[in-house]
Amino acid sequence: MAAAISNAIVRLLSDYTGRGPTKARTYINEELISVVLQDTLTKGERSLVSNGETALVLANRKAYQNSMGPDLVASVEEISGRRVIAFLSDNHIEPDYAIESFVLAPRTATIEEDGEERTDA
């Protein structure tokens, strides 16, 4: 599941920005999925950073994140089989890292008639 989520996030970032990150690693626990991405900036963004336009690059990335959010959430929900209740995203310039985090709805546990506990995703 982690590899599938990493691949989906990289593909979507590439679709939206024209270039995907070169490294991605997904961490999954009970109610949180986080994807850490490296080498995310485009050549144009790196050029802007070298000219002191870091704030502009971060604002541009925030706009991408807002635009991509629904597609990122849909991908994580489809792959994980869990509902995402919050999406958080941010970038760091030096070094070039980004993180996409998805807070999952709590699993609901019910006790069936046979006494067995069932957990729904």
| pLDDT tens by residue, 36-91 | 999 999 999 999 999 999 999 999 999 999 999 999 999 999 999 999 999 999 99
Mean of pLDDT values over 10-15: 96
Number of domains in the chain: 1
State the pTM of this model. 0.85
Shortest CA distance to 108 belongs to which of 86, 82, 87, 85? Answer: 82
Shortest CA distance to 33 belongs to which of 97, 115, 99? Answer: 99
Residue 40: what are its φ and ψ, rounded to 5°? -95, -25
Residues, the chain, total? 121
pLDDT at 107 over 90: no
Query: What's the domain range around 12?
Result: 2-120
% of residues, the chain, pLDDT over 70? 89
